[in-house]
Amino acid sequence: MTPEGDVKVILAGFVIATNIEASRWTEDNVISSNVVNDGNTLLTFSQWINANRNTGAIPPHDHAALFTGYDLAEKITDKRTIGIAYLSRVCNSYASSVNEETFNAMIIHIAAHELAHNLGASHDSYHSNGCSAEFGYVMSPSLPNSEYSSATSASRNFIFSSCSRAAIGAYIAGLETNCLENSPMDGLVDLTLAAFNPGETVYGVDDQCRLTYAPNGGSAMCRENYPLTTMKWASVCYRLQCRNPANLNGPCSSQFAHDGTACGNYKWCQQGQCVSSVDAPNVPGKK
């Protein structure tokens, strides 16, 4: 937490479970071949974190986030859950969340949403906090829409509403012991650094499509929908259209593009918008 009251996310470390015995939080809560009970998984994971917090098995931290390839569900007939967290638990027991790994840029929004729950923010809703869910800020109760009509509307997915900011501020101010004021240990990674652009350094547009639908291949960007001579290429930042390998002749579906994805000549995506940068790649032919 900065002196100005902003919350910065610092990566304390990774714990990677490589076998069934090391991941009892999911394996003990499987309800079908690729589905786990969301609430029980969160509880089991949180109990494991609490039991191992001072054993050296996990690094010191303020929030623990589990990322799983399992489909999260309250019950087998309702698999709409993509993330779950306890409300207002940071600096206390059960400061944890479970996130359904989507293998694309959507996971960023899921993880931020669940972390904010732990920091005291409820869903945006006129009935709960007075801010409309329709604007699509981070704490909207439903999955962000990847069919935005403009960069302005898409960029709200990277912003907390005034209600969320007020709730987080009030929760932190009310903590008897504010663990967020501790200075992070040397060598930890500041995840707020803008220099990391996975769309530039790790995943091209075809990679992002393949990871979304089939990590071993079968999908690619629908380039025919982005004429090089028009400004439509900029829309890739909030509407990356990918071919569905299950229906190659069907319509393309839209995904979020990672920051750093090229959207024009010396332009790249940053938080849903196509912006100019001397650091962006030189892509002749794209406006």
Catalytic residue among 4, 21, 27, 114: 114
Res. 182 pLDDT band, cuts 50 70 90: confident
Q: Tokens 């979020």, residue?
A: 256
pLDDT in tens, 82-107: 999 999 999 999 999 999 998 888 89
Known catalytic residue at 114: yes
Distance, CA of 120 to CA of 109 (rounded, Å): 17
Looking at residue 98, its pLDDT comes to 98
Domain layout of the chain by residue ranges: 10-190, 198-276
Which residues are annotated binding-site positions for Zn(2+)? 113, 117, 123
Q: Helix (H) and strand (E) counts for the chain?
A: 7, 13
Which pairing describes strands 240-242 and 96-100: parallel, antiparallel, or unpaired? unpaired
Residue 89 amino acid letter: R
Sign of CA dihedral 20, 22, 27, 28: positive
φ/ψ of residue 162, rounded to 5: -60, -35
Position with higher pLDDT, 42 vs 184: 42
Q: Tokens 């501790």, residue?
A: 182
Which residues are annotated binding-site positions? 113, 117, 123
Report the alpha-carbon angle 138-136-6, nearest 5. 30
Looking at residue 3, its pLDDT comes to 46
| Mean pLDDT of all residues in 183-199 | 64
Distance, CA of 63 to CA of 75 (rounded, Å): 26
Structural fold of domain 10-190: Collagenase (Catalytic Domain) (3.40.390)
- Mean pLDDT over all residues of the chain? 85
pLDDT in tens, 193-246: 555 677 777 788 999 999 888 766 689 999 888 776 555 788 888 889 999 888
pLDDT at residue 152 greater than cutoff 80:
no
CATH 3.40.1620.60 fits 198-276, yes or no: yes
Q: Residue 262 pairs with which residues in a beta bridge?
A: 268
Joined tokens for residue 202: 């790790």
Distance, CA of 249 to CA of 128 (rounded, Å): 43
pLDDT at residue 153 greater than cutoff 70:
yes
pLDDT at residue 41 greater than cutoff 60:
yes
| Mean pLDDT of all residues in 65-75 | 93
